[in-house]
Amino acid sequence: MSMEFYVPCLFGLEGLVGDELRRLGMDAVRAENGHVRFSGEAADMARANVSLRCGERVLVELGSFPAESFDALFEGTRALPWERFIPRAGAFPVKGHSLSSALHSVPDCQRIVKKAVAARLGAKYGVEWLPENGETYQIQFSLMKDVATLWLDTSGAGLHKRGYRPAAVAAPLRETLAAAMVTLARYRGKGDFCDPFCGSGTIAIEAALSAKNRACGLRRGFAAEKWTTLPPEIWQTARREAMDREFAGDYRIYASDIDPKAVALAKQNAERAGVADLIGFSVADATKFSRETERGVIVTNPPYGERLMEKRDAETLYRQFGAALRGRENWKLYLLSSHTEFERSFGREADRKRKLYNGMIKCDLYMYDRL
């Protein structure tokens, strides 16, 4: 039975997520502001969860209706087929947000949605009290300009949590954003790939996963995997299909950082991701970048001067990094920074720029087609 799915994503990545879904063969893919929709069956939902690199989670849409009053919200919510997914013992917490709507109190909306779903399920299962001692079916709602939309979250932990980066690190880059940078750099496993400010190794690890065409969700579980109302074999099929699509090859991926602790952590993370053998790690100063290969691509995320260093230090670092790279005509650079003076310090204007968000920090991806 066809369903509507909704994939939230970081602003600026809608087009990439749409392309990913189309490559996975999904129908009716529509990229909108901050999310992408598609249609499909339960098996497609499992495939999207297992394989997406740049999307944040996969929600199944129950329905959408005008809701200017609590009554309308209650009736509209109760009319949706919740029993199709939530069994008698299912726990169904509710969260959501409201923007430009008469119903602006999120806790009140949460209470109404909860009551309406409980009324629906109670009537369907012929009980007055639902134990909620089973698996979790997280309900999410949005009220946007007085229109309510309701979903169930099939992913659980966000899809950026691949399972390889458990340790908390300073100023980490979200995995989905690192994957997007690798995709935008069009790295497909050919030539040298370097991240000379690797920190916990996220960009190099995502590059290795992408070069191998390894699905990012192979090593983690998903909320809907425990849902008794879905066919269990869809998950095994999604993982098997993803593994069948993997490539094998010799890749030249290099990750370095001036901080030996960061390099040690990056190595551990790469091991957990199963790609340590594909990445050459070293402790090195990026301002003395010395790779002699004739062509390659650098995808990197140096300190911005907001969280790790003072702005001036960052500017000096960018200037020295720019000087170290000059003259490498066949090298490309994709560098993410929130520092507004990056280009001036680096010494050259980027060929293209793209606005991206690293969490709440507005950044630019500076793209140089040659150095």
Ligand X SMILES: C[S@@+](CC[C@H](N)C(=O)[O-])C[C@H]1O[C@@H](n2cnc3c(N)ncnc32)[C@H](O)[C@@H]1O
Q: Which of 18, 363, 350 shows the shortest CA–CA distance to 178?
A: 363
The reply to whether 182 sits near ligand X by the rule CB under 6 A is no
Instruction: Report the nearest approach of ligand X to the CB of residue 71 (Å).
Output: 48
Asked whether the CA dihedral 143, 149, 150, 153 is positive or negative, the reply is negative
Q: Does 279 bind ligand X (CB under 6 A)?
A: no
Among 87, 96, 134, 172, binds ligand X (CB under 6 A): 172
Total of chain residues touching ligand X, rule CB under 6 A: 21
Residues 248, 249, 255, CA angle at the centre, nearest 5°? 115
Of the candidates 170, 221, 236, 226, which has an alpha carbon nearest to the alpha carbon of residue 199? 170
Nearer residue to ligand X within complex by CB, 68 or 306: 306
Q: Does 322 bind ligand X (CB under 6 A)?
A: no
In the complex, least distance from residue 139 CB atom to ligand X, rounded to whole angstroms: 32
The pair phi, psi for residue 95, each rounded to 5°, is: -140, 165
Q: Both tokens of residue 352?
A: 């293209």
Q: Does 301 contact ligand X by CB under 6 A?
A: yes
Residue 6: both structure tokens together: 């909704």
Q: How far is the CB of 246 from ligand X (least distance, A)?
A: 24
* Interacting span for ligand X (CB under 6 A) from 73-81, 101-109, 182-190, 295-303: 295-303
- Contact flag: residue 215 with ligand X (CB under 6 A): no
If one asks whether residue 197 binds ligand X (CB under 6 A), the answer comes out as yes
| Among 140, 154, 183, 202, contact with ligand X (rule: CB under 6 A) | 202
CA atoms in the 13 A half-sphere facing the CB of 116: 23
Q: Which residue is nearest to ligand X (CB)?
A: 199
Are the C-beta atoms of 183 and 206 separated by less than 8 Å? no
289 closest CA partner among 200, 206, 197, 173: 197
Per rule CB under 6 A, is residue 315 in the interface with ligand X?
Answer: no
Here's the x/- map for ligand X, 228-267, by CB under 6 A: it reads as -----------------------------xxx--x-----
Type of residue found at 31: A
Window contacting ligand X (CB under 6 A); options: 62-70, 96-104, 198-206, 348-356: 198-206
Q: Is 36 in the site for ligand X (CB under 6 A)?
A: no
Pairing of β 252-257 and β 192-195: parallel
Closest to 174 measured CA to CA, from 363, 367, 339, 369: 363
- Say whether residue 199 binds ligand X (CB under 6 A): yes
Give least dist CB 291 to ligand X, A. 13
| 237: three-class secondary structure by DSSP | helix
Decide if 140 contacts 129 (C-beta within 8 A): no
Can you tell me which of 303, 335, 342, 356 binds ligand X, judged by CB under 6 A? 303
Dig out the tokens for 144 from the structure: 């946007």
Q: Where on the chain is the footprint of ligand X (CB under 6 A)?
A: 169, 171-173, 196-197, 199-200, 202-203, 257-259, 262, 285-287, 301-303, 317
